[in-house]
Amino acid sequence: MKAGNWFRKRVMADWLIAYDEPFMNDFVRANMYLMRGRDMDLLVDTGMGVSRLRDAIDPTAGKPLLALATHLHLDHVGSFHEFGERAGPAYSADAFATMPDAATYAHMFRDLPDPVSELPSPGWSAADYRLAPAPLTRALREGDVVDLGDRRFTVLHLPGHSPDSIGLLDERDGVLFSGDAIYDDTLIDDLPDSDRVGYRRSMARILELSVRIAYGGHGEPFDGARMRAIAADYLRRTEDQPE
């Protein structure tokens, strides 16, 4: 299957294109977002890496492109190595250089009973799945700014789902790219590196954000009211749960 046929493309706005992998198992089918900026394009997350993402996306010709990972889990960093400029959370910078299974959970994909509904290429097998090392060229910390020229995103450290999870907030326009910190689906907080105490702190912080629209790592975009409802529901559900 050609790369262009493996990925689904959706135009969300004149500056924003969303991609996903419709033939991927739902558990690891994540969103990727390409933003076209005045001075630089930005790609948020890179999917599973079973087909070459670099050949399927449409960045602006002649303009710098920065690939950014919201966290280190396999469904967000699969094609990260395909891009020359790579930004990600400083918390896990060492692991980006080696992509160990213990941090990425790549081994979970190899064990899935139905990893894909169509083969990305002839002879492909989930048993052979590995993540290529992708050392960061820019390590991001809380408060850092990713500047596209006409849009500026502030980096938010939002741990809980994973210890390194970050989001990107355009405070002027109220746009949040939240990775797996929050999305409109079942939130996962029971992985070996998840932290419910940290997740509750992140949800409390998210409740206070001025957001018009949020683009999560999974599922459909959602507005600020829905974002706050998801965060409040998580806080209610986990109030009496063991840490």
Question: Alpha carbon 94 to chain centroid distance?
Answer: 18
Backbone φ, ψ for residue 146 (5° rounding): -105, 110
pLDDT score, position 240: 79
Q: Flag whether 202 is in a domain.
A: yes
Containing structural domain, residue 60: 3-237
pLDDT at residue 93 is higher than 90: yes
Percent of the chain with pLDDT over 70: 98
Q: Is 243 domain-assigned? A: no
CATH number of residue 210's parent domain:
3.60.15.10
Mean pLDDT of 102-112: 96
Q: Which two tokens stand for residue 97?
A: 């250089």
Q: Is residue 242 part of a domain?
A: no
What are the tens digits of pLDDT across the range 221-235? 999 999 999 999 999
**Spatial CB neighbours of 110, under 8 Å, sequence gap ≥ 6:** 126, 127, 129
Angle at 180 between CA 8 and CA 59, to 5 degrees: 40
pLDDT at 2 over 70: no
95, pLDDT greater than 90: yes
Residue 48: pLDDT over 70: yes
Query: How many folded domains does the chain comprise?
Result: 1
Per-residue confidence (pLDDT) for residue 242, from 0 to 100: 56
